[in-house]
């Protein structure tokens, strides 16, 4: 089992906006403005979305870690 799943997901979440902007030509600033986010709230809104994504990913990695722990045989005494 990969012990650094949360850190790997943090890296993916941090690189994803850059990659979609450079490779997919997605203008996130214009997209957020188009969704009605005020100009001075674009960065806080993006930060909040990233935080929610990380909370979800942490929950998923926690579930998989607990599942792996439950499936592991206890040490023999």
Would residue 43 count as lying in a domain? yes
For residue range 23-43, list pLDDT tens digits in order.
Answer: 888 888 888 889 898 989 988
Would residue 17 count as lying in a domain? yes
For residue range 47-76, list pLDDT tens digits in order.
Answer: 888 888 878 877 887 787 777 777 788 788
Give the chain's domain count: 1
Q: What are phi and psi of 63, to 5 degrees?
A: -60, -45
Would residue 74 count as lying in a domain? no
Which domain does 46 fall in, by range? 5-68
Q: What are phi and psi of 73, to 5 degrees?
A: -65, 140
Would residue 73 count as lying in a domain? no
Would residue 25 count as lying in a domain? yes
Structure tokens at 69: 């722990």
Would residue 48 count as lying in a domain? yes
């Amino acid at each position: 089992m990969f012990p650094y799943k949360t850190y790997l997901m943090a890296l993916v979440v941090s690189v994803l906006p850059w990659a979609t902007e450079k490779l997919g030509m997605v203008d996130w600033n214009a997209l957020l403005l188009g969704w009605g986010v005020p100009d001075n709230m674009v960065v806080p809104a993006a930060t909040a979305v990233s935080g929610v994504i990380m909370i979800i990913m942490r929950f998923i990695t926690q579930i998989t870690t607990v599942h792996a722990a439950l499936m592991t045989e206890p040490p023999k005494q």
